[in-house]
Amino acid sequence: MIDALIGNAASREVIMLLAAGESSDLLAIVVYATLAIVVGLGMLFLSEVLGPRRKDSQKESVYECGVPLLDSAREPFTVKFYLVAILFILFDIETVFLLPYAVVYQQLGVIGLAEMGIFIFVLAGGLLYLWKRGALEWD
Amino acid sequence: MDTNLLWIVLLPFLGFLINGLLGRKLGHKTVSVIACLLPVLSFVVSYAAWSRLVDGANALHWNGFPWIWLEGTLEVPFALHFDGLAAVMCLVITGVGSVIHLYSIGYMKGDPGYHRYFSYLNLFTAFMLLLVLADNLLLMFIGWEGVGLCSYLLIGFWYEDDANCAAGKKAFIVNRIGDLAFLIGMFVCLQHFGSLDISMLTSAEEITRVSAETLTFPWGAASVVTTIAVLLFIGATGKSAQIPLFVWLPDAMAGPTPVSALIHAATMVTSGVYLCCRLMPLFEASPAAMGLIAAVGACTALLAAFIAFTQNDIKKVLAYSTISQLGYMFFAVGMGAFSAALFHLVTHAFFKALLFLGSGSVIHAMHHEQDMRKMGGLRNRLPFTHITFLIGTLAIAGVPPLAGFFSKDEILFAGFQQGFLNAVGSAQLFWLISFLTAGMTAFYMIRCVAMTFWGESHVEESLERNVHEPGGWIGFALFVLAIASALGGFLNVPEFLGGHASLGHFTGLHHSTSDLSVDQLRSLHVSEWQSMLLSVLIAGSGLMLGIHCYGKGRDLRTSFNDSSAGKALGRLSASKFYVDEIYDRIFVRPFETLSHLLFILIDRIIIDGILVNGLALLTRSTGNVFRRIQTGYIPGYLLTFGCGVLVLIFILLNFLREGGAQ
Amino acid sequence: MELTISRAEILALLPAAILFFTGLMQLFLDLGKSSANTRSEKTHLAMIGVTGILLALASLFIQGVEPSSGALYAGAMTDDLFGRMGAGVIIITALFCSLMAGGYLASSGNNRAEFHSLICFSGGAMVLLCQATNLISIFVAIETLSLAVYVLAGYFKNHQASSEGAFKYFVLGAFSSGFLLLGMAFVYGASGGSISLADIAASATHDDTLFAVGTFLMVIGFGFKVGAVPFHSWVPDVYQGAPVLSVGWMAVAVKSASFFALFRFVLFTGGGQILAQILAAIAVVTMLLGNLAALNQLSLKRMLAYSGIAHTGYLLIPLVLAVSGSGAIAGASIPFYLISYAVTTLAAFGVIVAISVATDRDDVQDLNGLARTRPLLALGFTVALLSLAGVPLTSGFIGKLMIFSDAIEGGFLHLALIGIVASLISIYYYLRPVVAMWFKEPSTSFDLIPASWGVQFTVAVCAIATVALGLFPDWLVNLSKLSVHAILG
């Protein structure tokens, strides 16, 4: 799996090529990349130049589901959102470990159970800690 | 194996430690007790060891411990050796040393540096004993350097005065020149003898082996033995104030007078002579070196005696007299009369210490006035000092039967024997010089007595009333040394006077006369009688002339002084032959110029300019660069990080490609 | 596949496990308490911490100097002497930090269990890092310790500098973790898909570009943790901002653990001459920059930060040797230098803890006259500084001597020369506090610096150990040699 992720052979090749400074194979890539950039930028440029422009205050304002704007949208969120998000991701990812364990729990036997128990104990401990420290309370 | 030997050295060292570390807290009384008791104890231990030698024991030896131990190349033990020669030296050092320690109690009373003074003095004693007892040259060198250090510390003891510090430095630096030669001499010894053990350096077969070898110098070849002997002798000229390195000793009188007595008259300055005696077989194996030593000794004796004529500082007179007498000792060494040299060393220790302590007593009484022109007539106020000083003077002048008579006579006879009996041409000249010097010695010493004690008083009114005889330990010390100066000569009464030359036999330095036939012996004795009569005669005439000049009528001196030759000679003498000035021109000035140039080049430009300021500038500017990099902004940090990685990976890949291409 | 677990595996894991458990205990025990008593010393926390740490130490010591039981947990970790020595350094450091923590935190009004337990957590992770023998366990350990240390750096959340330092540390740390991970991936790829260091060593060829780049990227990842130039930029800011005790912990434990792991990695795999040359260049720049930048620092923490960078530079020299394949030469110097650096730095930080408790500052001039008000602290600090400067009779001297002589023996004469020059430069700034302590008049603002007994104990023990190692280095040198040679086989 990791092999595929890294693209072992491919990455080695690229680095080897870079190292060898051989341009023949890279040339195609460079040409392709250049074309892509030129085409993209060209489109933007053309629409900027050729496109018609009729501005008014409605058009300039931020779109808020058709409701008139109350305030600036560029306000920081309260940090509590982040806290909840982080906690969620933390527990989410850690519980994901339970899934593969469920698949192979029979092969792992008693020791596997004990290890998982420790894991859950630590996790529960973390939750308890958060709770007692008041991380779960909004105010 | 005799551990007691260690105590001889250790006891005074203990005194140094106690007084040096705790002296400030202990009272004067405790300090004095400790400082004086320990050298006395050391004397007792030395005496016990000596008496074992007298009882017929072989030389005592303390094997000590391995000190510098490089297998096969350099093996130096920390070991002590106590034979007749060392025994005599130890007794002189601890004996005279103890007396001078006691004297110092009176002399240094009330000095703020009291404990410091005694700790230095004890340290000196310890080092001097180490020098004497060392069984190898390197250990001896430790003592050699140690006494030099103590000498430096004590000359500059009253360091508030710049002149004293300068004198201390001068002594130290001049000694260093000699020490360098000593060191090189040791290197040559190590190279050719493969050892620094004195027993090795003096063993007959080793010397025979080595004397076959020669060293090539740019100016020609020289035998190894001669090279070693000359180098060691140069070392000795530094420590024992001989031409050309004698200039430090007169200045060394800046120290307290007991120090001058102990270090700069009785013991330390004689260590050069001791070195020669210690290595007698080595020196004897090199006639060239012996000739050089005799020449230097005789010339120094004459030169110093001549300078002493016109000195007006009482201690300076004694200083030049010391140089002159040391010259005598070296002259004796050069003549092969090691026994005579040692004998004179011992008697000189007695009477010169006496003279110095006497002068100290005068100086003490006169509230540190040393100019003899401001003295005179002190005989009435300081009768005891006068008597003892007079005994010392007669002893040094060589008046029988005082100590100096026997020893000086022996030296003069050695010269006489070499010059006229063995018909060595140069020795005749040297003998003549020494002979004249004997008369001059008598003359300047009696001048000194006359100016100080006789005639009319030139002491300031206010001072004169307070001048009184110092009592207590000062008187005791003078008394003991006066006895020693009077009787010391009987240690080594020569055979023709019915003695047994016991000192010479005891130390093993005396050349046996037993192989001579009766006739030869008789003719030898006849010439010894002749020589003795001559020396008594010259001493007597020197004394008479001196008394005549300075005692009553001053007409002779005045008329001589007024003649142009007299003026020239007087000026030459008073200016000390311009030796200091000449050295200043030849050595000191060029060195100062050179060092000034180097100071500007290396110190100012290279070190200060480029290294220090340049580095500081570099540091400051790099610091500024860092500060600019170290902005505190994370993007900046990430940029450094990322750029660093990129550059490094680029370099890595570049190298890897090159490596792959090869 | 039935999971089994051997006695050796349990024993090997025990020190780290005890540390983690201790951390949890502290955390839970402090949960119910209100924050009203934050100014109290809360000795029970320190007691639990010290007990746990001592237990961990005991569990380490019962393993003694037995030879390794080989690969444990399917090659994820080992219990060899090298790892044990690393674990020992970390656990002992944790012990001293716990001893000092109570008084320090109480004086700053921030005494909560988190600090104690974070020390234990990161300590446990570091112990694992020292013992880890495959890429994954190395990465997990290093991330665990990093997370804990980020929080420690920002522990004074009301201090702007502390939070700022922690944030910088976190961002840059994440960045460097990326390099580490990428390097691991490259190494994994180059070695044909093995994560165990032994397998990597067996299959790796040094001419392989991928492998060289991968190794280099991993070194960068570690280089960040230990503050090698040009990955050092976080060090001064974080050291200055973070609580003194956290800084001490980072300076000693994080650096030691990272170096132990890095050394284990390169000792196993090597890296080839070219990589060695590049690392040599990094070592040179690190030594010079660290020492030169420290010259003008007036803040003690900042000065020690740069000094720490400089010492990283010295430690890179044996790394260079190991990478170039002469690890056997540098064998003795690696663990020895790290241990010597640990005790020395702890002594120094003990004194800075005392100073900052008393004055809330850490300038050199705050040390003025310390010798008169607190002679023993001043003596300890002096010993520590002299050892950092590499003055004979201290362990620092022996360490430097070994490193430089190893460099000469290994053919890197220029490294040794530059190292010596750098150490000479360093004497200047190390002596400045010494001068301040012994030759300046005490400032009038404080008469007596209060120092908790924990601080005094730490300074005393560490200073004595510094001198003792300087006088009798033999046994530790031999132990170090033994441990490295066990790895090299």
Nearest-neighbour CA in chain C from A106: distance (Å)? 9
pLDDT along chain A (139 residues), means of 10: 47 56 70 91 90 78 73 78 87 84 85 87 86 81
Do the Cβ atoms of C233 and B641 come within 8 Å?
Answer: yes
Q: Is the pLDDT of residue B1 over 60?
A: no
Q: Are B386 and B379 in contact (CB under 8 A)?
A: yes
Give rounded-to-5 percent helix, strand, coil for chain C.
75, 0, 20
pTM over 0.80: no
pLDDT: which is higher, C254 or A10 = C254
Nearest-neighbour CA in chain A from B661: distance (Å)? 9
Q: Assess A132–C contact: CB distance below 8 Å, yes or no.
A: yes
Do the Cβ atoms of B657 and A21 come within 8 Å?
Answer: yes
For chain C, the first-to-last Cα distance in angstroms comes to 31
In the prediction, which pLDDT does B161 show?
85
Sign of CA dihedral B320, B325, B331, B333: negative
Partners of B657 on chain A (C-beta within 8 Å) are 19-21
Q: Assess B629–C contact: CB distance below 8 Å, yes or no.
A: yes
Residue of B nearest to C285 (CA): B644
Q: Assess B651–C contact: CB distance below 8 Å, yes or no.
A: yes
Partners of A20 on chain B (C-beta within 8 Å) are 657
Q: Assess C171–B contact: CB distance below 8 Å, yes or no.
A: yes
The set of residues, in sequence order, having a beta carbon less than 8 Å from that of B520 and lying 6+ positions away, is none
Residue of B nearest to A21 (CA): B657
Nearest-neighbour CA in chain B from A93: distance (Å)? 29
Three-state secondary structure readout of B239-259 = HCCCCCCCCHHHHHHHCCHHH
Do the Cβ atoms of B648 and C213 come within 8 Å?
Answer: no
In the prediction, which pLDDT does C454 show?
86
Q: Amino acid identity, residue A35?
A: L
Select from C241, C259, C239 the least CA-distant residue to C249.
Answer: C239
**Cβ-based burial of B119 (10 A; exposed 0-12, middle 13-18, buried ≥19):** buried
pLDDT: which is higher, B186 or B561 = B186
Q: Are B314 and B372 in contact (CB under 8 A)?
A: yes
Q: Is the pLDDT of residue B662 over 60?
A: no
Partners of A3 on chain C (C-beta within 8 Å) are 189, 193
Least confident of A15-19, B47-51, B126-130, C324-328: A15-19
In the prediction, which pLDDT does A5 show?
42
pLDDT tens by residue, C370-386: 888 888 888 999 999 99
Count of CA atoms in the C-beta half-sphere (13 A) of B421: 18
Instruction: Grade residue C95 by pLDDT with cuts at 50, 70 and 90.
Output: very high
Across B12-30, average pLDDT: 87
Tokens 């010492």 belong to C311
Q: Is the pLDDT of residue B511 over 90?
A: no
- Would C267 be classed as within a structural domain? no
Q: Are C76 and C132 in contact (CB under 8 A)?
A: yes
pLDDT tens by residue, C7-62: 888 888 999 999 999 998 888 887 766 554 555 667 788 888 899 999 999 999 88
Q: Assess B653–A contact: CB distance below 8 Å, yes or no.
A: yes
Task: Write down how long chain C is.
Answer: 489
pLDDT tens by residue, B283-293: 998 888 999 99
pLDDT: which is higher, C128 or C74 = C128
Partners of B649 on chain C (C-beta within 8 Å) are 213, 216-217
Sign of CA dihedral C196, C197, C203, C209: positive
Q: Amino acid identity, residue A85?
A: A
Whole-number average pLDDT of chain B: 85
Nearest-neighbour CA in chain A from C82: distance (Å)? 27
Crossing angle of helices B314-334 and B287-308, in 10° steps, is 160
The set of residues, in sequence order, having a beta carbon less than 8 Å from that of B152 and lying 6+ positions away, is B168, B169, B171, B172
pLDDT tens by residue, B162-213: 888 888 888 898 898 899 999 999 998 988 888 888 888 888 888 888 888 8
Least confident of B18-32, B536-550, B564-578, C160-174: B564-578
Do the Cβ atoms of A21 and B656 come within 8 Å?
Answer: no
Do the Cβ atoms of C282 and B648 come within 8 Å?
Answer: yes
Residue of C nearest to B628 (CA): C233
When mean pLDDT is compared over B155-164, B545-554, C84-93, C445-454, the highest value belongs to C84-93
In the prediction, which pLDDT does A12 show?
57
Across B232-242, average pLDDT: 92
Do the Cβ atoms of A122 and C24 come within 8 Å?
Answer: yes
ipTM of the complex: 0.80
Across B641-647, average pLDDT: 86
Q: What domain range includes position C458? A: 272-489
- Core vs surface per residue A4-24: b (16+ CB within 10 A) or e: eebebeebbeebbeebeeeee
Do the Cβ atoms of C189 and A125 come within 8 Å?
Answer: no
The closest CB to that of A108, out of C3, C32, C186, belongs to: C3
Do the Cβ atoms of B656 and A19 come within 8 Å?
Answer: yes
In the prediction, which pLDDT does C437 show?
87
Least confident of B348-362, B591-605, C5-19: B591-605
pLDDT tens by residue, C278-332: 899 999 999 988 888 887 788 888 889 999 999 999 999 999 988 887 777 776 7
Q: Assess B636–C contact: CB distance below 8 Å, yes or no.
A: yes
Sign of CA dihedral A35, A41, A45, A48: positive
Partners of B653 on chain A (C-beta within 8 Å) are 15, 18-19
Nearest-neighbour CA in chain B from C292: distance (Å)? 6
- Would C248 be classed as within a structural domain? no
Do the Cβ atoms of C28 and A125 come within 8 Å?
Answer: yes
In the prediction, which pLDDT does A9 show?
53
pLDDT: which is higher, B486 or A65 = B486
The closest CB to that of A19, out of C27, C32, C209, belongs to: C209
The set of residues, in sequence order, having a beta carbon less than 8 Å from that of B143 and lying 6+ positions away, is B127, B128, B129, B130, B131, B132, B134
What total number of domains does chain C contain?
1
Q: Is the pLDDT of residue C416 over 70?
A: yes
Percent of chain C with pLDDT over 70: 95
Nearest-neighbour CA in chain B from C103: distance (Å)? 31
- Would C264 be classed as within a structural domain? no
The set of residues, in sequence order, having a beta carbon less than 8 Å from that of C138 and lying 6+ positions away, is C129, C132, C184, C261, C265
Instruction: Grade residue B509 by pLDDT with cuts at 50, 70 and 90.
Output: confident
Chains in contact with C, where contact requires at least 3 CB pairs less than 8 Å apart: A, B
In the prediction, which pLDDT does A18 show?
55
- Would C198 be classed as within a structural domain? no
**Which segments of B417-517 does DSSP mark as H helices, in order?**
425-453, 461-464, 472-487, 502-507
Q: Assess B656–A contact: CB distance below 8 Å, yes or no.
A: yes
In the prediction, which pLDDT does A1 show?
42
Do the Cβ atoms of C213 and B659 come within 8 Å?
Answer: no
H or E segment and range at residue C78? strand C77-78
Count of CA atoms in the C-beta half-sphere (13 A) of B363: 24
Q: Are B11 and B67 in contact (CB under 8 A)?
A: no
Whole-number average pLDDT of chain C: 87
Select from C245, C251, C214 the least CA-distant residue to C232.
Answer: C251
Largest CA distance in chain B: 113
Nearest-neighbour CA in chain C from B626: distance (Å)? 7
Tokens 């009004």 belong to C109
Nearest-neighbour CA in chain C from A30: distance (Å)? 23
Q: Assess B648–C contact: CB distance below 8 Å, yes or no.
A: yes
In the prediction, which pLDDT does B595 show?
77
Nearest-neighbour CA in chain B from A22: distance (Å)? 12
Nearest-neighbour CA in chain C from A7: distance (Å)? 9
In the prediction, which pLDDT does A3 show?
45
**Which segments of B335-402 does DSSP mark as H helices, in order?**
338-365, 383-397
Cis peptide before C236 (omega within 30 of 0): no
Residue of A nearest to B654 (CA): A19
DSSP-assigned letter for residue B489? G
In the prediction, which pLDDT does B629 show?
63
Do the Cβ atoms of C172 and B644 come within 8 Å?
Answer: no
Q: Is the pLDDT of residue B594 over 90?
A: no
Distinct helix (H) and strand (E) counts, chain B: 29, 4
Q: Is the pLDDT of residue B623 over 70?
A: no
Nearest-neighbour CA in chain A from C125: distance (Å)? 15
In the prediction, which pLDDT does C198 show?
86
User: How many CB pairs lie under 8 A apart between chains B and C?
Assistant: 76
Q: Assess C211–A contact: CB distance below 8 Å, yes or no.
A: no
Partners of A18 on chain B (C-beta within 8 Å) are 653
Do the Cβ atoms of B637 and C172 come within 8 Å?
Answer: yes
DSSP, residue by residue, B7-40: HHHHHHHHHHHHHHHHTTTS-HHHHHHHHHHHHH
The set of residues, in sequence order, having a beta carbon less than 8 Å from that of B585 and lying 6+ positions away, is none
Residue C442 CA to residue C450 CA, distance in Å, equals: 15
The closest CB to that of C189, out of A11, A109, A129, belongs to: A11
Partners of B660 on chain A (C-beta within 8 Å) are 19
Instruction: Grade residue B626 by pLDDT with cuts at 50, 70 and 90.
Output: low
The set of residues, in sequence order, having a beta carbon less than 8 Å from that of C399 and lying 6+ positions away, is C314, C333, C336, C337, C340, C341, C390
Mutation target for C interface from B617, B648, B654: give the one with most C CBs within 10 A. Answer: B648
The closest CB to that of A129, out of C27, C188, C193, belongs to: C27
Residue of C nearest to A111 (CA): C3
